[in-house]
């Protein structure tokens, strides 16, 4: 049981899905002498949506259930039936299972406070899936490896993106992502908020840095595409982040609102290539950044709330048809101008499908539901997001039947000799 955390404890969760302190692990120091060249990367084909079953599931959902599908909050406790004052205070229900049922949640994101042992996490994810009666949950986490590794206590210490990028070998990027995905999958986690697709253009960047594959857009693009294919090999959904590119800033979007003054031509040359590569490789989701790019949208709103950026660039220009996730909505960068309810509504209107970690969950849920009832968010717009979220599940094989994790399987896969050997080789 995880008790009430209080203000200090909540700072961990404020450092949200884009990463930050809390539950991190240092990059692997496992050295390697001469590393053999990995086997050539296997061909990968982007999954083809099968919309028939998706439309059937969508048709059986109420408006309230559809709105619930858009949300992925943090829940408190190490078991589905853990009683927590934090859950009661934030959601009006004491246990993760009751919160899931109350709001028809589409997903849950795990943090280190949810993690004690492999068997415990397996029971937690299985228990939460059992609480989602109509549609299996998206269970996500930030497992980038290196500085942002929420499941570090259980998983192989695989090298960070900068170390993998330094090898110059995309086969390592693919292999590390596949190993990461395989270990997450046996724990019941089906969505990773990785890989980072930012190009680390600013040495003073306080939030990206070593989390990026490097500073060359072309090389980063190749590594990102390979990583997306690796997650696909493991059967786990991947997320390219943080669109339209968080690499050229010296401001941390957890606490402030960065402004990046790239022109459209500079963006196309410096920031876009890794996202284009991710889309070509079949990435399941793209996460928005809480950054302002005035040359792409002069409104002054962060990209998370920008229709010209999320819909105009990501959907229309780059042709992305998958799930758009916000970065965590409890971060300072997105909460500068609007209240917690309005932020959620504006994110949906901008083009987001998945609303991650709203600061005030009931207010955000009620605001989105109210916007649908009033027609500000049309039923068609709501259905479009839910269809994309359901299609992700369909493509990954759990639209109507939740995956069941196994503690015995987890014991075989987590920190396996094969993965530890890979970690040593890929560390460079």
**Confidence band for 363, pLDDT divided at 50, 70 and 90:** very high
- What is the pLDDT at residue 202? 83
As to burial, measured by CB atoms within 10 angstroms (0-12 exposed, 13-18 middle, 19+ buried), residue 7 is: exposed
- Asked which of 17-31, 230-244, 258-272, 367-381 is least confident by mean pLDDT, the reply is 17-31
Which CATH architecture group holds 64-426?
Alpha-Beta Barrel (3.20)
> Cα–Cα distance between 257 and 304 in angstroms, integer?
11
- Asked which of 19-33, 100-114, 203-217, 242-256 is least confident by mean pLDDT, the reply is 19-33
**Confidence band for 337, pLDDT divided at 50, 70 and 90:** confident
- What is the pLDDT at residue 128? 98
Instruction: Please say if 254 is a catalytic residue.
Output: yes
- What is the pLDDT at residue 12? 37
Please give the model's pTM, rounded to 2 decimal places.
0.89
- Asked which of 9-18, 66-75, 389-398 is least confident by mean pLDDT, the reply is 9-18
- What is the pLDDT at residue 247? 78
Of residues 204 and 241, more confidently modeled: 241
- What is the pLDDT at residue 249? 74
Residue 48 has pLDDT above 80, yes or no: no
Instruction: Please say if 327 is a catalytic residue.
Output: yes
In 244-369, beta strands by DSSP E: 285-288, 323-325, 355-356
Name the active-site residue from 254, 262, 290, 419. Answer: 254
> Cα–Cα distance between 255 and 331 in angstroms, integer?
6
- What is the pLDDT at residue 257? 75
Give the residue extent of every domain in the chain.
64-426
Please state, rounded to an integer, the average pLDDT across all residues of the chain: 88
- What is the pLDDT at residue 49? 46
Name the active-site residue from 248, 271, 327, 340. Answer: 327
> Cα–Cα distance between 351 and 324 in angstroms, integer?
7
- Asked which of 85-94, 199-208, 398-407, 418-427 is least confident by mean pLDDT, the reply is 199-208
């Amino acid at each position: 049981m995880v008790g009430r955390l209080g203000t200090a404890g909540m700072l961990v969760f404020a450092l949200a899905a884009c990463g930050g302190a809390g539950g991190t692990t240092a990059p692997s120091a496992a050295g390697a002498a001469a590393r053999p060249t990995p086997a050539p990367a296997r061909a990968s084909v982007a999954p083809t949506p099968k919309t028939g079953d998706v439309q059937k599931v969508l048709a059986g959902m109420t408006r309230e259930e559809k709105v619930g599908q858009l949300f992925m909050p943090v829940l408190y406790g190490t078991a589905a039936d853990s009683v927590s004052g934090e859950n009661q205070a934030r959601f009006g229900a004491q246990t993760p299972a009751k919160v899931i049922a109350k709001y028809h949640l589409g997903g849950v994101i795990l943090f280190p406070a949810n993690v004690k042992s492999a068997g415990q996490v397996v029971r937690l994810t299985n228990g939460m899936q059992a609480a989602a009666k109509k549609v299996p949950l998206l269970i996500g986490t930030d497992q980038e490896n290196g500085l942002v590794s929420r499941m570090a206590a259980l998983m192989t210490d695989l090298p960070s993106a900068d170390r993998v990028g330094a090898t110059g070998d995309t086969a390592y990027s693919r292999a590390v992502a596949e190993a990461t995905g395989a270990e997450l999958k046996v724990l019941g986690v089906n969505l990773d908020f990785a890989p980072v697709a930012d190009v680390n253009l600013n040495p003073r960047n306080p939030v990206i840095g070593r989390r990026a594959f490097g500073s060359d857009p072309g090389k980063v693009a190749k590594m990102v595409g390979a990583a997306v294919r690796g997650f696909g090999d493991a059967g786990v959904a991947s997320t390219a982040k943080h669109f339209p590119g968080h690499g050229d800033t010296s401001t941390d979007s957890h606490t402030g609102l960065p402004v990046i003054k790239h022109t459209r031509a500079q963006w196309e040359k410096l920031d876009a290539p890794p996202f284009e590569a991710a889309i070509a490789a079949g990435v399941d989701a793209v996460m928005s950044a809480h950054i302002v790019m005035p040359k792409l949208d002069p409104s002054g709103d962060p990209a998370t709330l920008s229709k010209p950026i999320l819909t105009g660039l990501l959907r229309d220009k780059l042709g992305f048809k998958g799930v758009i996730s916000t970065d965590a909505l409890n971060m300072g960068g997105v909460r500068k101008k609007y209240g917690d309810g309005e932020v959620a509504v504006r994110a949906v209107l901008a083009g987001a499908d998945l609303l991650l970690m709203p600061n005030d969950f009931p207010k955000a849920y009620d605001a989105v539901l109210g916007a649908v009832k009033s027609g500000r968010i049309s039923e068609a717009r709501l259905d479009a997001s839910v269809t994309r979220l359901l299609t992700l599940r369909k493509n990954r094989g759990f639209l109507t039947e939740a995956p069941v994790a196994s503690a015995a399987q987890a014991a075989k896969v987590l920190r396996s000799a094969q993965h530890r050997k890979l970690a040593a080789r890929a560390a460079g």
